[in-house]
Amino acid sequence: MSVPELPDELLLAIFKHFDPLVLANYCVPELVDITHVCHRWREIAVGTPELWSNIYIFHLTNKNLPLEVILRRSQHLPLKCQIYANIEVQPRKLLMRASERIETLKIKAPKCVLTRLIHLPIGPLPLLRVLEIIEKEDRTGLTDSEETLDSEQFLELFAASELTELNLDGRSFTNIEPVLQPSLTRLTLCNRYFTVDYILKALTQMPLLRFFYLSGDLPSSRSDSLRHYPQICIGSSKAPGRRE
């Protein structure tokens, strides 16, 4: 069977194996390339909202696919967004215009960017269930090395009160206790500030928790008492069933 003879269902299954919708200066998204092959391929791709609902945002220019097009093609589906760009420009527009549809939000940025993020008027994300904020190494020298990131402020920024997965990965995060929501099933934190007693207390606050990852290593004298808790994973080890 030649490619033109493939049924629409099989073509769509192939399209779903392409990379997510990556928006960056250095490339044209594969999904956009698909829409330029022929009229039939374009109809299938543009008419399938789920292909446009998983968005990776890097550094953007006007050459990238406008956010309005993405939001229109994804229709009313929940959005999964990963942001590695200047949060104050295009990503902020996405967060504001699609605030009621964002289900997964992952941000990776240096501390100087995360500090500014807290003060942006983004608004609540009522559908948000998965939040990941990763502090990258800051090589700009623009941020005080002693400055901290208040974890509670990030949850207040997005009005995230029903999270099921939370990842605050960075040595600058403080004020952790308010983020320990009873609805969480997966949690990743830097163990810089934690004692064993604190970790065990946290488990009682999150009865649904199935995976608790503490980045970095604990001294063996501290970690030995946690070996009997299968949901706790420390350092570079990997818990069974953990998604990459």
Residue 143 pLDDT exceeds 70: no
- pLDDT band at 185; cut points 50, 70, 90: very high
Q: What is the pLDDT of residue 34?
A: 87
User: Is residue 174 domain-shared with residue 231, that is, in the same domain?
Assistant: no
pLDDT (average), residues 132-149 = 73
Higher pLDDT, 57 or 217: 57
Residue 5 pLDDT exceeds 90: no
User: Is residue 139 domain-shared with residue 188, that is, in the same domain?
Assistant: yes
- pLDDT band at 105; cut points 50, 70, 90: very high
> Comparing C-alpha atoms, which of 67, 71, 149 is closest to residue 116?
149
| Domain of residue 66, residue span | 3-197
User: Is residue 132 domain-shared with residue 215, that is, in the same domain?
Assistant: no
Higher pLDDT, 185 or 33: 185
% residues pLDDT > 90 (the chain): 20
pLDDT (average), residues 200-214 = 86
Domain count for the chain, please give it.
Answer: 2
User: Is residue 54 domain-shared with residue 161, that is, in the same domain?
Assistant: yes
Each residue's pLDDT tens digit, 59-104: 655 555 677 788 889 999 999 988 886 665 567 777 778 888 999 9
Q: What average pLDDT does the chain have?
A: 79
User: Is residue 241 domain-shared with residue 123, that is, in the same domain?
Assistant: no
> What's the rounded Cα separation, in Å, for the pair 128 and 165?
10
Taking residue 150's Cβ as centre, other Cβ atoms within 10 Å add up to 16
Higher pLDDT, 228 or 155: 155
Contacts of range 177-185, beta carbons closer than 8 Å, 24 or more positions apart: 178/151, 178/152, 179/151, 179/152, 179/155, 180/205, 180/206, 181/206, 182/206, 182/207, 182/208, 183/208, 184/208, 184/209, 185/209, 185/210, 185/211
Residue 161 pLDDT exceeds 50: yes
